[in-house]
Amino acid sequence: MKTGAGSTRARLRIAVLGATGMVGSRVIKEAGARGHQVLALSRKPAGEHPNVTPVAVDARDAHAVRDALSAPDGGAADAVVLTVRSMPVDQEFLVAVTRTVLDVSARLGVRILVVGGAGALRSPDAQDLLVADDPAYVPADVRAVAAAGVAQLRTCRTHAGGDWVYLSPPALLEPGERTGRYRRGTDTLLADADGRSWISAEDLAVAVVDELETPGPDHHITVAHQGR
């Protein structure tokens, strides 16, 4: 799959909650570069691109989230990308914030894309095993992080109404090169021929904006690096 550059799609109003993070900052850069109008939401607002408006929002505050997603002209954002996390992992926080953003988005008719965890995917080695429960991918010391992602996906699945998609990264997600290419899957972890399951945060951001511009039919998707 090769997309991104030279898009001629309609200009979207995209809110990114977690704007200062590894993923959020790259989604903002990608969306801004494609000419979309971006609301960069985080507790410490940041963003210097002309298409980007920084807004101070605490994701735990439902009123603040609603105000941020509602436009001054009475309209609403077209989409919100939820890409927050706490350090150390706090499953209760993640589930509560996800529910808040699902609630507000459903009320306003805003599409929501959650950047979640690889743990919520099926293991490529055993379809009835989640990555979160597969020690081949998730060592004991990061199990709580993987379990929080599983709970976050469950929160989406059990939410009444709302237009959501949950994007699980591959096992390894780190800053790197923007190639503009990636492989796309649904609910099973993608790995290359050597067993490596990874993508750069830059290419994940390409996939996020592609999904917002051209929504697919699946509620749970994943992406991974694609070589030449």
Ligand X SMILES: NC(=O)c1ccc[n+]([C@@H]2O[C@H](COP(=O)([O-])OP(=O)(O)OC[C@H]3O[C@@H](n4cnc5c(N)ncnc54)[C@H](OP(=O)(O)O)[C@@H]3O)[C@@H](O)[C@H]2O)c1
**Based on CB atoms, which residue is closest to ligand X, 84 or 151?**
84
Residue 117 sits in the site that holds ligand X (CB under 6 A) = yes
Least distance to ligand X, CB of residue 94, Å: 7
Please give the structure tokens belonging to residue 56: 């101070």
Token readout for 168 is 């699980």
Question: Taking CB under 6 A as the rule, which mask of x and - marks residues 131-170 in contact with ligand X?
Answer: --------------------------------------x-
Q: Is residue 214 involved in binding ligand X (CB under 6 A)? A: no
Q: Is 27 in the site for ligand X (CB under 6 A)?
A: no
For residue 20, the minimal CB distance to ligand X (Å) is 4
Cβ atoms 49, 38 nearer than 8 A? yes
Question: Given candidates 116, 134, 155, 213, which one binds ligand X under the rule CB under 6 A?
Answer: 116
- Judge whether 204 and 179 are in contact, CB under 8 Å: no
Residue from 6, 8, 10, 44 binding ligand X (CB under 6 A):
44
Bond into 88 cis (ω within 30) = yes
> What SS3 class is residue 98?
helix
- Measured from the CB of residue 44, what is the shortest distance to ligand X in angstroms? 4
How far apart are the C-alpha atoms of 2 and 223, rounded to whole Å? 12
**Residue 223: closest CA among 214, 208, 215:** 208
Query: Number of helices and strands (H, E) in the chain?
Result: 5, 12
Q: 3-class DSSP state for residue 190?
A: coil
Q: How far is the CB of 214 from ligand X (least distance, A)?
A: 22
CA angle 104, 110, 112 (to 5 degrees): 85
> Is residue 76 part of the contact set for ligand X (CB under 6 A)?
no
Decide if residue 32 touches ligand X (CB under 6 A): no
Q: Pick from 3, 7, 22, 219 the residue near ligand X by CB under 6 A.
A: 22
Binding site for ligand X (CB under 6 A): 18-24, 42-44, 57-60, 83-86, 115-118, 169, 171, 173
